[in-house]
Amino acid sequence: MNKKLPVVAFVCVHNSCRSQMAEAISKIFAADVFEACSAGTEIKTKLDQDAVGLIKELYGVDMSETQKPKLLAELPKIDILVTMGCQVACPFVPCRYREDWGLDDPTGKGKEVFLQTADVIKQKVLDLKNRIENQSI
C-alpha cells in the first residue's frame, strides 16, 4: 500500500518567481518525500521568464510547460506551508506546520541573484526533505 506523501505549499505574493522555483526544484529533488505545489496571494499572468530560463538551464525543466501562477484558493489540502519571505502580511492557510524562508525577490536583479536564490532554495528544499524523512517536523 502506498503511503500518501505530505503536501508542501510554497507561497509568495505573485506566485511567479520564488515559489514557482521552489515548486520546480522540489519536484526534481524531493518528489519521493513530499508533493510540492505553489500559490500566491495575488498572481501575475505568467511565470517570471528569468526564473523559467534559469530552471531550464540548471535542471532541463521548463516550468512554463508544467506550472502556472495560482491563487491560494487553488491549493489542495496542505500539510506544510513555506512562505518565501513575507514583506507583507502572510496569509493564514490551514496546515500542521509552517515556516518562512525569508528570501528576497530576485525579480529584475540579474542572473547572479537568480542563481544565488535558486541555490538557497535547493539547499532549503533538501533540508526540508531531510526533516520530513526524519519526522522532525
Other CB atoms closer than 10 Å to residue 64's CB: what's the count? 16
Told to judge if 86 belongs to the known catalytic residues of this protein, a careful annotator would answer yes
Q: Which of 12, 17, 37, 95 is catalytic?
A: 12
Catalytic, 17? Answer no
Catalytic residue among 17, 37, 86, 95: 86
HSE-up (13 A, CA, CB side) for residue 39? 19
Exposed, middle or buried: residue 77 (CB in 10 Å: 0-12, 13-18, 19+)?
exposed
DSSP secondary structure of 64-89: HHH----BGGG----SEEEES--SSP
Nearest C-alpha neighbor of 64 from the set 24, 111, 9: 24
List the catalytic residue out of 17, 37, 90, 95: 90
Q: Which residues are catalytic?
A: 12, 86, 90
